[in-house]
Structure 1
Amino acid sequence: MIAKIVRWSATALLVLCLLLVGTIAALRLAASFRETADRDELAPPSGHLVATRRGRVFVQEKGAAEGVPVVLFHGTAAWSELWRQTIDRLAAAGFHVIALDLPPFGFSDRPGRYTRRDQAARVNDVLMALHAAPAIIVGHSFGAGAATELAMRFPERARGLVLVDAALGLTAPPADPPWLLEPKWVREILVSLTVTDPLATRFLLRSLIGKKDRALPQYVEILQRPTRLRNSTPDIADWLYYFVGSDLLAESADRKAYARLHLPVAILWGEEDTITPRDQARDLQALLPVVALTLLPGLGHIPQIEDPDMFNDALLKVIAKL
């Protein structure tokens, strides 16, 4: 009797494993069939490509050419269009808005190197090509790392820095990427199950925001659109390896470097953020020599879509001070 139970359990486990492997393989194959579009089919006409030494960067500009530049860095899996309401509001206030797609997301080229140093150098090339005056640099979430790196390595580019729910990794011990993610095929499976899976987009968006009802179809569509580009899953799998490590060579990963950041800094933070809790904002505030912290009540990790009016009012207020 016991032997029969053991054999039955082993058979059931084997079947479950085969079903799991089959499901994962099917999802990865589905990603390949889904990712067939070209940039010209999907990119908004309001943007253009700017050549850099590290690939072309897709940029959306709006506002008076003579206005103070405001450069917008988006977070993980987002792109410049997620800033749309902020772009319009800043442009209406007289600023020259420069919203860019940090590769491998959005419609920029995907050159395969995505450290903060690479991203900062890439954006520095963009600002040089655009002949931009010193700018207010705004970095959201994971994009805050590249934004801070730009301000640290190219201080002549920045007249002020605004960090929005910044995922800088300063409160966690430095670590290399886990060995399990070294094979690219493993990372491709993870990406095909999350970032590039259209069935997962709304769920992931809801998990990031405090106001769950703001996971609107328009935002889901924005996030999904670039993932239909050719080779999105393998390209984002390259980036994932950088994402899960600590980027140890980045100045912005060094807690001591923040005391040497001699420019005005403002922090905007969703009070209900569970991805980068507000304790991280307090920690960051303590590291910086000159800083103003504004907590946004009721908002989570992506305040610019959760309550655009509240967020844009707060952003304009701190920019005026900067």
Structure 2
Amino acid sequence: MTITSPAHPHTDYSWQWHGFNINYRQWGTQGPPVLFVHGFGASAGHWRKNLPVLGEHYRCYAIDLLGFGKSAKPQPEVEADYTFETWATQIKAFCAEIIGEPAFLVGNSIGCVVVMQTAVSYPHWVRGVVALNFSLRLFHERNLLKAPFYQRWGVPLFQKLLTQTPLGSLFFKQLAQPKTIRKILAQAYRDKTAITDELVNLILTPAQDPGAAAVFLAFTSYSQGPLPDDLLPQLHCPTAVLWGTADPWEPVDLGRALVAQYPQIEFIPLDNVGHCPQDEAPALVNGYLLDWLGRQQSA
């Protein structure tokens, strides 16, 4: 089992997985392990307000998925496939090689789909799952079949333009600008005071790495793979879902209706919070996680 005592929760560590450098952070040296998984375009730093609090009671880790943050960004389809199956394999290997035992997994946005896929594919490595505003994957090919005609036609066309023409690189360059990132965050966050220079730089800096544009374009064209609809009924570990009710991208009513089919899954709405509760309302999230994790230990 690997247990170290990091000097600071912002310290970065490296781990080699399949020859690729993977970045992670760690805080805490006692208690059961908890692994945090970020959303699209984010990184381990998105959990900077959670690690010190949870790390007082648990061994906490936050990882950069392959292709994001300070982790390697290998060429899509040639060196790596950016799929939920790939990332689930990465998470399982991290639990085995770095943590040394099964862990509780906490995800945000697409990170929720990653942790759910991990729990389905490698159930013996997952003690429980907490999902914060999980991605509904509304542009998945199966969801598009139920969408209005203009979306069924327009989304695949836009994806082809991004991945098969120079428009994709130009589009990414426009996105990877401080002003653009602030505008996007202003949609995602209800509390605008949470949009700091530190947060903008957490997203902007990895976007300037070689290979970042190719990873972005590969994932934006990824309309296959699992939906939460597929994974939720296969979860056999303790599971909870937290949802910021002011999320403009993942409507809370859709999430609530989906989770309601599984009464064993706890659903907690977070009023007037946006898409990234762990960063926008860390006190709410940290308090709930401490309570939930405590209940799992006493069960």
Question: Taking structure 2 as the reference length, what is the TM-score of the superposition?
Answer: 0.82
Larger mean CA deviation between 144-153 and 303-312 belongs to 303-312
- Residue 296, structure 1, aligned to residue 270, structure 2: yes
Task: Report the counterpart of residue 148 of structure 2 in structure 1.
Answer: none
Contact 2:37 2:62 in 1 (8 A): yes
Contact 1:102 1:119 in 2 (8 A): yes
Task: Report the counterpart of residue 14 of structure 2 in structure 1.
Answer: 49
- Residue 77, structure 1, aligned to residue 45, structure 2: no
- Residue 284, structure 1, aligned to residue 255, structure 2: no
Contact 1:255 1:287 in 2 (8 A): no
Letter in 2 for 1:115: T
Structure (1 or 2) with the greater helix fraction: 1
The secondary structure found in structure 2 opposite 1:103 is coil
Question: Taking structure 1 as the reference length, what is the TM-score of the superposition?
Answer: 0.77
**1:102 equivalent among 52, 55, 65:** 65
Q: Cα offset for 1:289?
A: 5.2
Q: Cα offset for 1:131?
A: 4.3
Aligned-pair RMSD on alpha carbons?
Answer: 2.3
Whole-angstrom distance in 1 between the partners of 2:194 and 2:277: 10
Q: Cα offset for 1:123?
A: 1.5
Whole-angstrom distance in 2 between the partners of 1:57 and 1:286: 36
Larger mean CA deviation between 273-282 and 158-167 belongs to 273-282
Q: Cα offset for 1:292?
A: 0.8
**2:194 equivalent among 211, 214, 217:** 214
Whole-angstrom distance in 2 between the partners of 1:208 and 1:254: 20
Letter in 2 for 1:302: C
Question: Runs of 4+ in structure 1 displaced over 6 angstroms?
Answer: none
Letter in 2 for 1:76: F
Contact 2:244 2:273 in 1 (8 A): yes
Q: Show structure 2 runs of 5+ residues with no match.
A: 1-8, 145-154
Whole-angstrom distance in 2 between the partners of 1:143 and 1:304: 13
State the identity as a percent. 25
Whole-angstrom distance in 1 between the partners of 2:272 and 2:261: 26
Q: Cα offset for 1:221?
A: 2.0
Q: Cα offset for 1:297?
A: 1.5
Task: Report the counterpart of residue 270 of structure 1 in structure 2.
Answer: 244
Whole-angstrom distance in 1 between the partners of 2:10 and 2:249: 33
Q: 1:321 to 1:168 in 2, by over 3 A?
A: farther
The secondary structure found in structure 1 opposite 2:14 is strand
Q: 1:320 to 1:229 in 2, by over 3 A?
A: same
Q: 1:169 to 1:72 in 2, by over 3 A?
A: same
Whole-angstrom distance in 1 between the partners of 2:139 and 2:233: 16
Task: Report the counterpart of residue 51 of structure 2 in structure 1.
Answer: 87
- Residue 155, structure 1, aligned to residue 120, structure 2: no
The structure whose Rg is larger is 1
Whole-angstrom distance in 1 between the partners of 2:228 and 2:243: 21
The secondary structure found in structure 1 opposite 2:104 is strand
Whole-angstrom distance in 1 between the partners of 2:28 and 2:287: 17
- Residue 197, structure 1, aligned to residue 160, structure 2: no
Q: Cα offset for 1:81?
A: 0.7
Whole-angstrom distance in 2 between the partners of 1:288 and 1:264: 12
Contact 1:300 1:306 in 2 (8 A): yes
Letter in 2 for 1:183: Q
Contact 1:303 1:311 in 2 (8 A): yes
**Aligned length in residues:** 270
Q: 1:235 to 1:271 in 2, by over 3 A?
A: closer
Contact 1:59 1:100 in 2 (8 A): yes
Q: Cα offset for 1:270?
A: 0.7
Contact 1:54 1:122 in 2 (8 A): no
Task: Report the counterpart of residue 147 of structure 2 in structure 1.
Answer: none
The secondary structure found in structure 1 opposite 2:95 is helix
Whole-angstrom distance in 2 between the partners of 1:54 and 1:203: 36
The secondary structure found in structure 2 opposite 1:85 is coil
Whole-angstrom distance in 1 between the partners of 2:228 and 2:283: 34
Contact 1:70 1:97 in 2 (8 A): yes
